[in-house]
């Protein structure tokens, strides 16, 4: 299974790739399914009514992640990658006033804001912890079309049929790739046989479907959005939405770091503070609903960009080629984890989000600094190994506590893992593939209370004061 770098790194909006972006895309797909049925048959009612039921983690933490609003925005024709906040507000206001959605190619759709999205707090649907069911009826309540979707993390959305068939709707599987590695062991073997780096193999796989110039333009756009998100976070003060009254800290910390430069107040461990503040800047933006890049998810969106910014601004010899190689290698590792385990906090806990992001960042950083393929694989394994068992227990279902700081610590672990790997020759005891499998098994055994339901851990231990 080939996952493009543009499947792993998607431009979207906060606060969650699985709970915000995914449901928004599911809404768009349901409208497309209605249009397809209309084309195939002449039984389309003169008007429709739509109801959406959220299940599992989407229900338990949907309010904190604005899942109900995301569903509505998707039905109104908005997409995460082109989201315009002003246009979204205008269309929402029109819907509240009329109770009607006018979607191109479809009859008028009745939809009651506040009633059209239902939170079902019962057991999750069988396919995945993030399930939602769309039902379209005529005005008399006669069923017309029902479809079940699963938001499986990182902005990937599958129907129940696709889920059963293992189809993640990524790049066309019929296209032959020169280096079709499906495991880290295959990746290392192909690299040794071809005498190519992981970045070079990933580039060769990508350029089967696009030119080198188009690939580089895409990489530059991904990095530009990440970099701009850091800058916005470093420049913005205020309190994050959601009711926890979490104050943004990145701007204040950044200003303090700048003021200390060139003085005798700088401690040797200040690199950790720079990594943390870059990651926190992004995750504060994400928590505020800003534009971010899934890396591989929104909840873990700060780790990879923080380490990339650290590489560019703090490391000797950093250049644009290193930025490109960083992204290519990070995507290769993210694709292996996504294919062989999970990047969904609702499925395997935060080890699948921040843990995966740290592995991706460690591998990318190691490659950008000139690490061998074996050292890159070792870096990814070290970072992932030391996130195993990490729970997903956001307080009040908001991607704020502990998520913002957790990204900072993930970035620090990623750099430490890469540094350790670069001090060795790439040989180590635990292969990355086995570590990925361990994460999958750990996630399977983890209680649902610790998998993005906010019913255990830190989420139920907030002092009431």
User: pLDDT tens per residue, the chain (465 residues)?
Assistant: 789 999 999 999 999 999 999 999 999 999 999 999 999 988 999 999 999 999 999 999 999 999 999 999 999 999 999 999 899 999 999 999 999 999 999 999 999 999 999 999 999 999 999 999 999 999 999 999 999 999 999 999 999 999 988 755 444 555 899 999 999 999 999 999 999 999 999 999 999 999 999 999 999 999 999 999 999 999 999 999 999 999 999 999 999 999 999 999 999 999 999 999 999 999 999 999 999 999 999 999 999 999 999 999 999 999 999 999 999 999 999 999 999 999 999 999 999 999 999 999 999 999 999 999 999 999 999 999 999 999 999 999 999 999 999 999 999 999 999 999 999 999 999 999 999 999 999 999 999 999 999 999 999 997 764
Cα–Cα nearest to 10, from 149, 151, 156: 156
Residue 4 placed within a domain: no
Question: What is the domain range of residue 20?
Answer: 16-165
CATH code for the domain of 246? 1.10.4100
CA distance 444 to 334: 19
> Same structural domain for residues 128 and 218?
no
> Same structural domain for residues 116 and 199?
no
Structural tokens at position 337: 């984890």
**DSSP-assigned states of every residue in 127-157:** S-SEEEEEEEE-TT--EEEEEEEEEEETTEE
User: 341: number of CA atoms within 13 Å, CB side?
Assistant: 33
> Same structural domain for residues 137 and 80?
yes
Angle at which helix 198-206 crosses helix 212-235, to 10 degrees, equals: 110
pLDDT at 7: 97
pLDDT at 174: 59
**Residues 64-116: tens digit of each pLDDT:** 999 999 999 999 999 999 999 899 999 999 999 999 999 999 999 999 999 99
> Same structural domain for residues 392 and 315?
yes
- Split into its structural domains, the chain has a count of 2
Asked whether 401 and 240 are in contact (CB, 8 A), the reply is no
Domain boundary among 132, 165, 198: 165
Residue 319 placed within a domain: yes
Residue 178 placed within a domain: no
> Same structural domain for residues 300 and 237?
yes
> Same structural domain for residues 145 and 251?
no
pLDDT at 424: 98
Q: Calculate the alpha carbon distances from 226 to 7, 15, 98, 344, 353 in Å.
A: 16, 15, 38, 21, 17
> Same structural domain for residues 200 and 155?
no
Domain boundary among 97, 132, 165: 165
Q: Calculate the alpha carbon distances from 310 to 28, 206, 351, 365, 419 in Å.
A: 37, 26, 23, 10, 13
Residue 456 placed within a domain: yes
Residue 2 placed within a domain: no
Beta bridge partners of 147: 134
> Same structural domain for residues 274 and 311?
yes
């Amino acid at each position: 299974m080939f996952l493009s770098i543009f499947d792993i790194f998607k431009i979207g909006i906060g606060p969650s790739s699985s709970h915000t972006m995914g449901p928004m895309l599911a809404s768009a797909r349901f409208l497309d399914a209605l249009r397809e049925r209309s084309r195939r048959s002449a039984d389309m009612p003169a008007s429709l009514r739509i109801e959406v039921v959220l299940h599992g983690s989407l229900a338990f933490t949907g309010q904190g992640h604005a899942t109900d609003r995301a569903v509505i925005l998707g039905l109104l024709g908005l997409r995460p990658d082109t989201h315009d906040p002003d246009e979204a507000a205008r269309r929402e206001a029109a819907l509240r006033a009329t109770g009607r959605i006018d979607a191109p190619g479809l009859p008028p759709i009745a939809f009651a804001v506040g009633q059209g999205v239902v939170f079902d707090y019962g057991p999750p649907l069988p396919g995945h912890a993030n399930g939602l069911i769309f039902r379209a009826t005529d005005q008399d309540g006669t069923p017309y079309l029902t479809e079940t979707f699963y938001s499986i993390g990182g902005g990937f959305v599958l129907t129940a049929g696709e889920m059963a068939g293992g189809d993640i709707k990524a790049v066309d599987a019929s296209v032959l790739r020169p280096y079709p590695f499906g495991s880290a062991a295959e990746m290392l073997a192909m690299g040794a046989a071809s005498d190519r780096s992981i970045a070079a193999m990933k580039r060769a796989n990508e350029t089967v479907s696009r030119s080198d110039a188009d690939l580089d333009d895409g990489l530059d756009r991904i990095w530009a959005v990440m970099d701009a998100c850091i800058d916005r976070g470093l420049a913005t003060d205020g309190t994050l939405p959601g009711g926890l009254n979490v104050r943004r800290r990145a701007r204040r910390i950044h200003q303090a770091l700048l003021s200390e430069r060139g003085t005798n107040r700088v401690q040797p461990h200040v690199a950790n503070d720079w990594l943390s503040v870059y990651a926190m800047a992004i995750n504060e933006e994400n928590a505020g609903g800003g534009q971010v890049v899934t890396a591989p998810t929104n909840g873990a969106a700060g780790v990879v960009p923080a380490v990339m910014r650290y590489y560019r601004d703090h490391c000797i010899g950093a250049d644009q080629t290193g930025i490109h190689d960083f992204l290519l290698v990070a995507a290769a590792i993210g694709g292996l984890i996504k294919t062989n385990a999970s990047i969904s906090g609702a499925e395997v806990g935060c080890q699948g989000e921040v843990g995966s992001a740290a592995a991706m960042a460690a591998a990318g950083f190691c490659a950008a600094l000139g690490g061998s393929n074996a050292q890159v694989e070792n870096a990814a394994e070290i970072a992932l190994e030391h996130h195993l068992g990490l729970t997903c227990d956001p307080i009040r279902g908001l991607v704020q506590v502990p998520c913002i700081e957790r990204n900072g610590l993930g970035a620090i672990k990623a750099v430490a893992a890469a540094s350790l790997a670069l001090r060795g020759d790439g040989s180590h005891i635990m292969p990355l593939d086995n570590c990925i499998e361990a994460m999958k098994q750990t996630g399977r055994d983890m209680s649902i209370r610790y998998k993005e339901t906010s019913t255990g851990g830190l989420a139920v231990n907030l002092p009431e004061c």
